[in-house]
Amino acid sequence: MTGILALAGTSALGFLSPAAAAAQERSREVVAPGAQPGSCADHGCIRSVEVSGLIDPIVADHISRTVAEAQRTPGVRAVLLTLNSPGVVLDDERLDTLARLLVDSSIPVSAWIGPSGATALGGAAELVAVLGDVSAAPGSEIGEMGDQRLDRARFGDIASGDRIEMSTRRYSAEEALSAGIIDRIAPTGNSHLIGMSGVDVEDVVDKDGKTVKQPRTVLVIGKLPLPSQLLHTMASPAVSYLLLAVGLGLLIFEFFTAGVGIAGIIGAGALLGSGYGLGVLPVRPWAVALCVLAAVVFCFDIAVGVPRAWTAIGLALWVAGSIFLFDGVGLPWFALLVGVLGMAVAMVSGMPAMVRARFGTPTIGREHLIGKLGRATSAIEPDGTVVIDGSPWRAMTNRLTPIALDDEVRVVAIDGLTLEVEPLEGGARDYREMRSKDRPS
């Protein structure tokens, strides 16, 4: 899934070519963030940052911190960005600041667009184009950067000369090399390392008996902290959209159920996560409003347990809001399909069926429950929940007769989807007298 973003960092062996992986495991230390570099004193270190997915403020801060720490750390010779990014969701000032940091760094900042199939598009393509040492794996692509956002006075015209079409089309790795966008083609991250300035290289014999070049310089792989990884994931289009759909759906479900349960808590959490993602991503406010309005419209038909015209209107609003939700950032088609079909199934079939099964029974409107005994599952002061015949219900009582948790109660009336109850003993006199007037003598 495009929206499910990879962790910022993988194992060193996965970064290497298969032929050199075994030798790498024996010959080179992989240093975790915050650990002592060890052999960095002998052959230096390369700080690595993997950028997968949109470059959002969290990723930009991670890159900035890595470069800043690398410049202060003895033995670090360069920073390597491994890129697979469809673009950036930074404002122009933040993007320009990041580009200046990379270009003005006192140690080299290099980039590898890989593995095969990776992309560097939009603002990510601009960042790559201004770096001094860039390679790409065969099958990777770069371009479609749109109007240049970086300061022309500082970085010049990126889409010019052989790069003239860089703003509108994608270049393959071979085309990018011919256009001067990248410096070389590197099938693996290991081959990019070997070509980097400042990397010590040695010849080793792989398991097939072939002599291959192997970097002796230590690769230090940096990872985002878990909370940052979670926020970075929520700031992807697919995840933020699906969280919006799940959150609205669960809150509707909670509204039409008799008890206060975990669905409401999960729904609220999903909406908070979606809110963060939608706050980071470029969205159309009117499209967000359409999605929320659709949830409100769905309730009209769910309340009667039958999908009618309001359901069709709600689905039309949801589809329109979903399609136009993001401005300049693509929503994966499968996420859109899941969101639309999931909402359609839930609102056309699932929710009405639940309401009919739960509330469309003889207990509604026929006073079948009146006189039934039950137990309070929360304090009722004057609102709470009770269990009647094994089923949970919202309940209310007279303010003069609060009911404690686990007290026995008697149903005296039904008000919509709420039971009016009283304690078996000690009910307020005016409350009971009011009920006695409504009962046949």
Task: Give the residue from 161, 160, 188 showing the smallest Cα distance to 173.
Answer: 188
Q: Is the pLDDT of residue 23 over 80?
A: no
Average pLDDT in the chain: 80
Asked if residues 80 and 47 have their Cβ atoms less than 8 Å apart, the reply is: yes
pLDDT digits (tens, 9 = 90+) for 138-184: 999 999 988 999 999 999 898 888 788 888 899 999 999 998 899 99
Is residue 85 very low, low, confident or very high in pLDDT (cuts 50, 70, 90)?
Answer: very high
User: Which pLDDT value is given to residue 394?
Assistant: 83
pTM for this predicted structure = 0.67
What digits encode the pLDDT tens for the residues 90-146?
Answer: 999 999 999 999 999 999 999 999 889 999 999 999 999 999 899 999 999 999 988
The band of 259, judged by pLDDT with boundaries at 50, 70 and 90, is low
Q: What is the pLDDT of residues 388-418, one digit of tens each?
A: 887 778 889 887 788 889 899 998 888 767 8
On the question of pLDDT at 432 being above 50, the answer is: no
Distances (CA, A) of 232 to 54, 89, 103: 9, 11, 25
239 confidence band (pLDDT: 50, 70, 90): very high
What does the pLDDT look like over 260-299, one tens digit per residue?
578 888 888 999 999 999 998 999 999 999 999 999 999 8
Lowest-pLDDT range of 148-162, 366-380, 420-434: 420-434
Model pLDDT, residue 393: 82
2-6, 176-180, 303-307, 336-340: the lowest-pLDDT one? 2-6
- pLDDT, tens digit, for every residue of 42-65? 678 888 888 888 999 999 999 999
The better pLDDT of the pair 100, 15 is held by: 100
Q: Does the structure show a pLDDT above 60 at 360?
A: no
**Confidence check: pLDDT of 20 > 70:** no
**Alpha-carbon distances, residue 99 vs 60, 67, 111, 132, 152 (angstroms):** 10, 12, 13, 12, 12
Output the pLDDT for position 208: 76
- Cα–Cα dist 366/238, whole Å: 47
* pLDDT score of 431 more than 80: no
What is the pLDDT at residue 362? Answer: 45
